Structure formats: structure tokens, C-alpha cells
Structure 1
Amino acid sequence: MKALRYSTVGQPPTIENIPVPEPVGGQVLLKVLAAGACHSDEFVMSQPVEVLGALGIGLPLTLGHEGVGEVAALGPAATGVEIGDQLAVFGGWGCGRCHTCATGAEQYCERAATLGIRPPGLGNQGSMAEYLLVDDARHLVPLDGLDPVIAAPLTDAALTPYHAIKPVLPKLVPGSTAVVIGVGGLGHLAIQLLRALSDCQVVALDIGADKLAFAKEMGAHHAFTSDDSAIEAVREVTGGKMATAVFDIVGIQPTCTLASRMVHFQSEIVVVGVGDGAVPVGFFTLPYNTVVRAPYWGTIPELHEVLALARSGTISVETETFALDDAATVYERMHARTLRGRAVVVPA
């Protein structure tokens, strides 16, 4: 089968022919229908070999942790799905047995690192291939009529901001303001989720007139350039109150610093992006009782909820599709910031 493989540190991924995996035990083999491309893939390909080793990521690696497929084969112990079922893949694989996994939050599994369990495309072989081997049927969620191209990005680009936003919802009452920094694959869905789930004012920050216009299309009440001028802009549109929550979808130091200057007492800063930035926490660094979090991915129950939101038309994903043979160009486009929403690779 064809697969997009990252094989050499510092070199771009290439299409390679590798054997089709055979499911054993409770594994499920999917024929991939769609696979989303994410900045986390770019993050992996930017790391030196020693960091990859520390993260448990070996090369060569088939990329892709946003996957949707049709069941093609079942291991002898696999149950709960049938040949031909169309399913979305929950990527935050855990042991399935610890207390945390029992809540559905397998992305925070207490034993995954010890057991060497890694997500597809981020340690295990991923979905940018003609076939994907899923370790257990419990990680598969029915599409129930959703278009696979739309569903694939929902498994991360929607699930991750949904998981980040849900705990803050009690604070996002009428009169409050949420700021979203970064209007790309995750950010454009974060804006929609905030509009759908709360009555807060939504402010989007990014660079470039095209991204700011995109933010307004997605429902942002205001869109400003992501630099120091945004601080006074947010102060003005909030009547001096500043933001109740800031969702930093980028996560580099300039955006983390910007986030820390936009909040008020008892606010929340949620660092979602996989960057190298940090928000200092101390008595004199932030307004009193400000919460700073760095959540990861989302839970299995939340993926069911996200798919339901898409099914109802409450949220939608801006996608651009690519053939598997052209998949490597996705990351060139991503690096050049010329993708409007989410890039989706369609192997067939």
C-alpha cells in the first residue's frame, strides 16, 4: 500500500510502498477514506532525533493522526464493529484499564508511556496511507452519515478546542469575552464552538487580512492583528474589562505573552498550540486567581459530542482535499500559511 512516510530527520516526507498490515487480537484494519493534516505533524518533523526518541517516536513513521475509514478486516478477537462500517478514529490511545481511561480520557492515560502506547501518526503508524491499523474497536466512533472528508478533521481540529473550551463555559456568560489567537484548522472551529456553546463576545487574533476576514466569516465579533496593538483593541471592545478566557491556538512565546496581557481577575488562559511558549504563573505575574491550562486533545465521549454537533450543522469544517500522491505538498502549504482551514488527504 502507499503511505506518506517521514523517514529521515530534516528531510520532507515521501510516498512509499509498504505492506498492508494484518489485524491480530482485537485490532481493526480500516481502509482509509480521509486523513487530516495537522501542525502537530509539522512539529514532529521539526524535532531532532534525540527529542523524537524521548517522545517515543521512531522512524520511519507514517504520518496522520486524524483518520476516518471503512472496516476492511478484523482481528479474531475484535468485536463491536463490522466489515464495511464507516468510523472516525479517536487518536488519544491509552491502556483502557486505568482509572483515567475508564472516564474516556485515554489521552491522559496513566500507563501509556510505561507501556509504550502511542497515538497513530505520533508514534504508531498513522492514517496518511491506504490502510490504518487501529489497536482496539473502542477507539472507533460511527460516522452515522457524516462525510468522511468533514469527519476526519473533527477528530482533532474540532475535538481539541472543544475539550479546551468546555471547562470554561460556566464563565463565558453574557457580557464576557473570549479571545482566540490563531485562525487556522483549530482556530476556525474554536470560534464556531464558542459562538454555538456560549453567549460571550468572541475576538479573534491572527496576522494577515485574509485570516482576519476568515475569522469574521466563522462568526468572530471582532478580528484584530495579533501584535501588541491587540491589547488596546481588546480593552476597547470589552469596555476595559479585558478577556474572561484566552485560547492560544499557536502556543509560541509571543502569543503566550500576548495572552497574559489580555486577562482580568479570575480569567483563564488555555494554551492549546504545540509551541515552545510558556505563561509564567506567580503572585505578581497575572491578575489574581487566573487559571493557566495546557490541555491535550479530547476524550472519547467528547468526540461523540463533536460529531453530533457537525451532524446537526452547528459547526462546519473548511477543508481543502489532496490526493495521497500529493500529500507531501500539504506541509509545504501549511508552512507557507496558504491553507484556509484544514487540509484533508483522500487516498482513493
Structure 2
Amino acid sequence: MRAFQLVHAQKPPELREVPVPDPGPGQVLVKVGGAGACHSDLHLMEAPAERLPKLPFTIGHENAGWVEKLGPGATGFAPGDPVMVYGPWGCGLCANCREGKENYCQKTGGLGGGLGGHDGGMAEYLLVPASRFLIPLGTLDPREAAPLSDAGLTSYHAVKRSLDLLGPGSTAVVIGAGGLGQMAIQMLRALSAAAVVAVDTSADKLTTAKRLGADEGLLSGEEAVTRIKDMTRGQGAELVLDMVGVDPTLRMAAQVARVLGHLTIVGLGGGALPVDFSSPPHECSVASPYWGSIPELMEVITLAQQQKIKMLVEGFPLERAGEAYQLLHDGKIQGRAVVTPHP
């Protein structure tokens, strides 16, 4: 089969011929319908060798498809079933895993899928170590649903943990209106009563954000900070989601958050949050969540089945995976690029 693999550190991945995996006891082979291209993959491509798993490995941690073959003892699914693949593969035995929070597995540190030394899904087939990592998709198309496993789940978890702050009259600010931000806007609209403010450097992305449910779209800068303060009567937003995570966005996040609010860092931009006695505001909680739990992914899929959320998807055949990542790098993907090995 063909697989898009990272072969050498700090060099572009390559499309290679590799053997089709044969599922062993308890394992499941999935025929990949869609594999989302994520910004975190770009960080992997730029990382030095000492920060990478053993090379080569197939990238792609946002995956959905159809069950191809069950290994001995694997149960719960049948060949042909459309499924979503939960990405962070934990041990299944620690306290967090037993609650479905395999993203915070105490044994593995939460790294799973294509991020943890296993081959990911940017290939024709993906070997999944256990059927507990598969969730039925029902009528959803795997080629369109794949990004829900990360962009959808991560955004959902980031919003859900702050719902107690988001009653009528509250404000939520989403910094970065790309694929993750677009999902966060829809999650806020589906789950809360908050006024939703999108902030981005791209006017086009702000137009998309408003179409997806944002009440206001602001170009990033000091004027955006002033406008948010005016909207909130000088108090700042109850929830600020930074979907970018670079120095300028984190600085803005600290400026527009409020006392006793939540500032949640989702983006992996590598910036540093300015922290002193008054920044962020007093008793504003700062968190950096990682993915979400298996039960939460089931809830995300239900929202998609109810048509309350929808990922904007641009499809690319496997041979154009490199092009998809280049467009992502250049900021030219409006929603989420999805590689489709089986169109």
C-alpha cells in the first residue's frame, strides 16, 4: 500500500510503498477514507530527530474510514462499518484511561496515533491496536468526518470544560479562525449562550467565522482588544480560546481575559504567555488541554449527526498530500485539508 511517511528529520514526508498491516489479536485494520492534515503535523516535520519517534513512520492522527479486517478476538464491529478512530492511544488500564481519558494516559503521557511512534492514517490502511478506539459514524461520510477526531474533539473539550462560565450575557473570544477555531465557534454556538467573537489576521477567515456562528469578527490588533473590552463593559471575556499559541496571540489573550475567567491555550505555536501579578487578570485560570476523552468524541459525533456542527473540508488524493501540507503551511486552507486515500 501507499503511505505518506516522515523518513528523515526536518525534511518533507515521502509517499512510499509499505506492506499492508495484518491485524493481530484484538487489533482492527481500517480502510482509510479520510486523514486530516493538522498544524501539529507541520511541527513534527520541523522537529529535530531527538524529538521524533523512530523513523520512518506514517503521519496522520485525524482518521476515519471503514473496518477492513478484524484480528482474532476483536469484537464490536464488522467489515464495512464506517468508523472514527480515536487518536491518543493510552494503556487502557490506568485510572484516567478507565474513565475514557486516554488523552491523559498516565503511562504514555497521552501521546498516541501518528504522534506516539505508531503509524498514522495518511495511508491506504491503518492498524488500530484495539476496537475501543473505534466509534461508529452512522451516516457520516468518513472523508468529511475525519477532522472531528481532533479539530472537533479538541475544540469541544476546550469549550465544555468552561461551560459553567458561559451563561446569558457572557462572552467567548476565539483567537484564530482556521480549522480549529471554526470548530470552536460552532461548539460555542451549539453548547452555550455566550456571545462569540472571532479574531484573526485574515478577513476571509473572519467572514467564514461569522457564517459559522460568530457574532463578531475582528482583525487582530489593538483595535480588537479595545472592541472586546468595550463589548464587555471593560471586564474582558469569560472564556478566551487561543487556537494559535504564538507570542502575539497569547499577549492578546491575556489582555482580553477577565478576572475569574478562563484562558485556554489550544494552539501549538510555541509562544509564551506573559505572566506577572496582573497578567492574566486575577484568578483567571490558564489551561492547555490535549485532545479530549473517548466519551466526548462520541458526543462530537452525535452533534455532527444532528447537523449542529460541520467541518469545512477540502479533499486531496494521497498523491497530493505534500501539496495539502504546503497550502496549510501557507495559510491557504479555509477549513481542514483531508487526504482521501480511498475517494
TM-score range normalised by the length of the shorter chain: over 0.9
- For 2:303 and 2:21, the matched residues in 1 are separated by 33
- For 1:105 and 1:15, the matched residues in 2 are separated by 33
Which consecutive aligned stretches of 4+ in structure 1 deviate over 4 angstroms post-superposition?
Answer: none
Matched ranges for 1:67-146 at <5 A = 67-113=63-109, 118-122=111-115, 123-146=117-140
Deviation at 1:298, TM superposition (A): 0.6
- For 2:13 and 2:51, the matched residues in 1 are separated by 18
- For 1:331 and 1:203, the matched residues in 2 are separated by 28
Deviation at 1:218, TM superposition (A): 1.1
Is 2:221 the counterpart of 1:223? no
Is 2:177 the counterpart of 1:150? no
- For 1:95 and 1:159, the matched residues in 2 are separated by 20
Q: CA RMSD in A?
A: 1.2
1:279-337 superposed Cα distances (whole Å, 9 cap, x missing partner): 24453332221100000001000000000000001001110000011111111000110
- For 1:120 and 1:101, the matched residues in 2 are separated by 15
Q: Which segment is superposed worse, 25-34 or 221-230?
A: 221-230
Deviation at 1:15, TM superposition (A): 0.9
1:208-252 superposed Cα distances (whole Å, 9 cap, x missing partner): 211111111111111111222211011122232211110000011
Which one-letter code corresponds to 2:43 in the other structure?
F
Which one-letter code corresponds to 2:31 in the other structure?
K
Q: Unaligned 5+ residue runs, structure 2? A: none
- For 2:50 and 2:133, the matched residues in 1 are separated by 30
SS in structure 1 of the partner of residue 113 of structure 2: coil
What TM-score do you get using the length of structure 1 for normalisation?
0.95
- State the match for 1:167 in structure 2: 161
- State the match for 2:38 in structure 1: 38
- State the match for 2:12 in structure 1: 12
- For 1:118 and 1:200, the matched residues in 2 are separated by 32
SS in structure 1 of the partner of residue 161 of structure 2: helix
SS in structure 1 of the partner of residue 249 of structure 2: helix
SS in structure 2 of the partner of residue 95 of structure 1: coil
Q: Identity of paired residues, percent?
A: 48
SS in structure 2 of the partner of residue 327 of structure 1: helix
Deviation at 1:51, TM superposition (A): 2.2
Give the conservation status (yes or no) of the 8 Å contact 1:279–1:292.
no
SS in structure 1 of the partner of residue 301 of structure 2: helix
Is 2:179 the counterpart of 1:185? yes
Q: Unaligned 5+ residue runs, structure 1? A: none
1:150-208 superposed Cα distances (whole Å, 9 cap, x missing partner): 21010011100101110111111111110001111111010011011111110001112
Give the conservation status (yes or no) of the 8 Å contact 1:118–1:124.
no
Matched ranges for 1:203-218 at <5 A = 203-218=197-212
Is 2:256 the counterpart of 1:234? no
- State the match for 1:195 in structure 2: 189
- For 2:288 and 2:311, the matched residues in 1 are separated by 24
- State the match for 2:47 in structure 1: 47
Which one-letter code corresponds to 1:45 in the other structure?
M
Is 2:56 the counterpart of 1:60? yes
Which one-letter code corresponds to 1:94 in the other structure?
G
Give the conservation status (yes or no) of the 8 Å contact 1:8–1:59.
yes
Give the conservation status (yes or no) of the 8 Å contact 2:182–2:212.
yes
Give the conservation status (yes or no) of the 8 Å contact 1:62–1:127.
yes
